[in-house]
Amino acid sequence: MTADYQSILQQQASAPLATRNDENHYLIPLPSYGVITVTGEEAANFLQNLLTNDVKQLEQQASQITAMCNPKGRLLALFLLVKTESGYQLVLPQSQCAFLAQRLQMFKLRSKVEIADCSETLQVCGLQGNDPSTSAIPLPSQSRALLIASVDQMTSDLEDLMSKGWQLAAEASWFITEIESGIPVIFPSSRELFTAQQLNLDLIGGVSFRKGCYPGQEVVARLHYLGEPKRRLFQAIAKTDTLPEIGETIVDKEKAVIGHVVNAIHGDENQLFLQLSLKLDGANQDLYLSDGTAIESVHAYV
């Protein structure tokens, strides 16, 4: 990582959270995220046979939310899939990259694809505002986009945008907006804990029910066509300076387990933004983190 980009990250460490003012434009470097690339003449077919979404519907410089499941339909990884001129980029927490790259390699066999964890060479930056860079990948929610570039190119792009009035914001800003927008995430501690429906992937365009088979497809499709999900994704707030563990249980006043923590990030003044997967028949009760902290303002996304 070059000194110039490291300097930008150091500046970001003391930057405030992004505000909701539509007139402001924010740069939000995401050093905790990484990128896996999948290239080669059979890359589209290779991913089509493994992921929950329809890879072949993706146009160049566009993105889709998608996931990889185990054979029982439990989520192993969840990521943003970006189609590029040379193949595909998978954007996800860096803590998940080595695992997912290895998992994809297991299915490579004789496929004409190359799989690489490029987290050391490609950087990710979120853009929040109404005037994104022309090289950025647009996202569907709230005037946001992603820049994915080498360290040198990212440094150049960010310096150019800052010269045009864009402001650095804390990395937490991006994750808070993800929670508020209903975009879930899988971390190492939550692998195989949730199904697609428990994280609302079927409601946010993360699952295609028209494509062919993939690992876990039968389980995901059976629940869609023949059943009703008993758990869904919710957002909530708590007042605490303690960050709960991902996958930590959510309980009611009788200590019965109602769900689990999907994501959690601190905002200002000990305000904790929570994303929770909860039982539908228990979500309206008084709920608590495992340390007894009361959970407030529990709302379904749909």
Tell me, yes or no, whether 149 and 247 share the same domain.
no
The answer to whether position 234 is within a domain reads yes
The answer to whether position 156 is within a domain reads yes
CATH no. for residue 90?
A: 3.30.1360.120
Residue ranges with strand state E in the chain: 26-29, 33-39, 63-69, 75-83, 87-93, 114-117, 122-128, 137-138, 144-150, 167-168, 231-239, 249-251, 257-266, 271-279, 287-288, 294-300
Q: Dig out the tokens for 66 from the structure.
A: 């998608």
For residues 80 and 138, give the distance between their C-alpha atoms in angstroms, rounded to a whole number. 12
Domain tally, the chain: 2
Nearest to 298 by CA among 251, 239, 238: 238
- Enter the pTM of the model: 0.95
The answer to whether position 224 is within a domain reads no
The answer to whether position 221 is within a domain reads no
Centroid of chain to Cα 152: 25
Work out the angle at residue 106's Cα, subtended by the Cα atoms of residues 92 and 61, and round it to the nearest 5 degrees: 40
SS3 category, 173: helix
Q: Dig out the tokens for 241 from the structure.
A: 């300076």
Tell me, yes or no, whether 143 and 286 share the same domain.
no
Contacts of 176 (CB under 8 A, 6+ apart): 17, 265, 267, 273
| Backbone φ and ψ of 152, nearest 5° | -65, -45
The answer to whether position 163 is within a domain reads yes
CATH no. for residue 292?
A: 2.40.30.160
Q: Dig out the tokens for 159 from the structure.
A: 């310096």
Write down the residue that tokens 């994809």 correspond to: 104
pLDDT at 170 over 90: yes
Cβ(246)–Cβ(262) below 8 Å: yes
How do residues 200-225 score in pLDDT, each as one tens digit?
999 999 999 998 899 999 999 988 88
The answer to whether position 216 is within a domain reads no
The answer to whether position 213 is within a domain reads no
Q: Who has greater pLDDT, 249 or 4?
A: 249
How do residues 107-123 score in pLDDT, each as one tens digit?
999 999 999 999 999 99
| Backbone φ and ψ of 200, nearest 5° | 65, 20
The answer to whether position 187 is within a domain reads no
pLDDT at 41 over 70: yes
DSSP state of 74: B
- Note down the domain range covering 156: 3-181
